[in-house]
Structure 1
Amino acid sequence: MKHSLIITLFLICFQSYGQYTTEINTNRPSLSMGAYSVSKGIIQIETGLGMQKDSYDSETYNDRIGADVQLRFGVMNENLELIADFKYDATNQTVYATENKFSGFRNATIGAKYLLYDSYKNYVDKVNVLSWRANQRYKWRRLVPAVSVFVGADFKSDKYWHPNMPAASIKGMIITQQHISNHLSFVTNLIIENAENDDFRSYGYIATLSYGFNQRWSVFAENQGYFREYEGEKIPFKDDCIFRAGFTFLVHRNLQLDISGGTGIGDNPQKYLGQIGVSWRNHKKIIFKDPYEL
């Protein structure tokens, strides 16, 4: 059943290249981060409410309700974005009919993303007035990805992580984004967590494929995996490998709704998760003026 569910879930919201886009450019409902910023002076809020079940066996499992909020703000120029990401969990843990409830912030990440390369910057798609066929050819430039880097501080709660893991650490990411066609895009994140700590350094990836049916509806399919080692003990890859999929609906150009679900491939624990969310941005850029400017 689990494997059939993974196949069924092969369904990021569709993201347009450029900086200030006509429609909202959001990371939800996937967990990957797009390469482009929200644009200078734009504030964007992306939030969701979800449930997750971690089942070790019929007598041992965790039921979790979680909320996450990501705040994005474009500053200085079109390439730089400040990001604050907060995750809160309320967990009901059952071990052989004994229940234990606890809640709190799971982790918070505060950092900045910078666009290093955009293959479409200063590029003009010229029309060949002499050849219709030349204009219809596939533009291989689409396969050249935009590339960004993210660096931030990651704060974790010992309620949800290894008790000896540092409460604060460095998180880094290389982000690529390709627009394979007018409807199809592909985003990858290469991640390092606890970068400065040899005992808990982890490497991960997120790969997100998204397809926009039209201006309002889109779907995504995503795979996330981590290679973790805690104080010399390797965590099986399959326990940290998750498939997700979902839909997005653009209410209007500054507001998007989403719904998604997913499952892990591991058995320790088996993971099933679902989430609904919303993304909103202010429709006017906030410009900070010099108070002494006439």
Structure 2
Amino acid sequence: MDSPCLRKISLLFYLVPFISLAQYTDVINSNRPGRAVSAYAVGRNVVQLEMGLVYEQQDDASLNTDSNIFGTDLALRYGLLFETLELVYEGSFISQNITFTDLGTMERRTDFSRNRLGLKFLIYDPFKNPENNKPNLYSWRANNVFQWKNLIPAISIYGGATFTLGDNPFYPGDDVATPRVGINTQSRLSPRFVLISNVAYDRIGTDFPEWSYAMSISHSFRDPKWSVFLEGQGFSGDRYSDILLRTGVAYLISPNFQADFHLGSGFKNDPSRIFTVLGFSYRLDFHKDKLVSVSSKGGQGGKIKKNAVKKKRKKSKKKKKDKLDF
């Protein structure tokens, strides 16, 4: 069975994944759960809060310590000036209770383990030109299986600073502000799978610079409100090195509100890490599409609008003439 109506319905169905990867979407586009960062911005004039409550068990075999950590992850994102630019704050405030097994003593450390501000800018979007990504209206399989071109990612760059305020017990001796740069990529492997990767160089110019990377793959179910993810994150530096593995779920409660849960662990014993995070994302949507006057821009659209105005004027003149003749 084939008809123009059926083709239009199929076209709308297959365009949904492409629309969902645009800068602004009708549904919230959160970096949660996990720590991997999308290549895309939230959209101009969109304010978005992403928050998580953290519990972590951390034991260090080399120091004979046991730790319980309670904390809050926070990201505040704002679409600045235009669709491809985002101002983002990321912070983690934790309270760590450390028990020194050999000494039988306890110590509490409370401060920011992550505190940074920066700008993210999209420099390449493979979905910007819809002509290059038209769906195949005659083959469901062609639109839903992996294709090599799907590996071509959207790319954004990041530039900002990490802040160490006061006497921070987690980063003793660090400067108040140190540069941080990064690259983020995002590939749509299929309509239900998205791959995100990040590379960042942090605390540049200090005695303890740090490389980090993250790679996350997410999958949405037939019920699009539910999705799952698997993520690996690595750190390499003289102060701290480890690989963390995370997995979890997200549920879309409303177009502007998402809840999530994930758990994870590290691979080292100095320290060993096991953690769980319960979070949510909420946005205030002040986005407005820019209206372009097609008549002032000319082109085919301008001609159509001009012709419509001319026809309207002709009809008005004809009505006036008919009244006079009567």
Same fold (TM over 0.5): yes
**Aligned match of 1:36:** 40
| CA distance in 2 between partners of 1:145 and 1:226 (Å) | 23
**Aligned match of 1:102:** 109
Residues 26-59 of structure 1 deviation map (CA, whole Å, 9 limit, x = unaligned): 0011101100000001000001111111112495
| CA distance in 1 between partners of 2:134 and 2:113 (Å) | 50
**Aligned match of 1:204:** 212
Residue 45 (str. 1) matches residue 49 (str. 2):
yes
**Aligned match of 1:91:** 96
The code of the aligned residue for 1:203 comes to W
Residues 200-225 of structure 1 deviation map (CA, whole Å, 9 limit, x = unaligned): 22111011111111311111111111
The code of the aligned residue for 2:231 comes to E
More helix as a share of residues: 2
Q: 1:181 to 1:127 in 2, by over 3 A?
A: closer
Q: Kindly report the root-mean-square deviation, in angstroms, between the aligned alpha carbons of the 2 structures.
A: 2.3
Greater relative contact order (Cα < 8 A, sep 6+): 1
Query: When the two structures are aligned, how many residues end up with a matched partner?
Result: 264
TM-score normalised by length of structure 1? 0.83
**SS of equivalent to 1:180:** strand
Query: Alignment identity in percent?
Result: 30
**Aligned match of 1:6:** none
How far has the Cα of 1:164 moved from its partner?
A: 2.6
Residue 266 (str. 1) matches residue 268 (str. 2):
yes
Q: 1:120 to 1:164 in 2, by over 3 A?
A: same
**Aligned match of 1:121:** 128
| CA distance in 2 between partners of 1:127 and 1:259 (Å) | 34
**Aligned match of 2:251:** 249
How far has the Cα of 1:19 moved from its partner?
A: 1.1
Q: Which has the larger radius of gyration?
A: 2
Structure 2: gaps (5+ residues): 1-18, 290-326
More strand as a share of residues: 1
Q: 2:24 aligns with which of 20, 31, 38?
A: 20
Residue 112 (str. 1) matches residue 119 (str. 2):
yes
Structure 1: gaps (5+ residues): 1-14, 288-294
**SS of equivalent to 2:286:** coil
Runs of 4+ in 1 over 4 A off after TM superposition: 131-139
Residues 93-124 of structure 1 deviation map (CA, whole Å, 9 limit, x = unaligned): 11123111232233311110000000110222
8 Å Cα contact 1:42-1:286 kept in structure 2: no
| CA distance in 2 between partners of 1:127 and 1:44 (Å) | 31
| CA distance in 1 between partners of 2:117 and 2:189 (Å) | 31
| CA distance in 1 between partners of 2:260 and 2:34 (Å) | 10
**Aligned match of 2:292:** none
**SS of equivalent to 2:122:** strand
| CA distance in 2 between partners of 1:205 and 1:17 (Å) | 22
8 Å Cα contact 2:197-2:213 kept in structure 1: yes
| CA distance in 2 between partners of 1:220 and 1:261 (Å) | 11
**SS of equivalent to 1:141:** helix
Q: 1:79 aligns with which of 71, 74, 84?
A: 84
Q: 1:161 to 1:257 in 2, by over 3 A?
A: same
Residue 224 (str. 1) matches residue 233 (str. 2):
yes
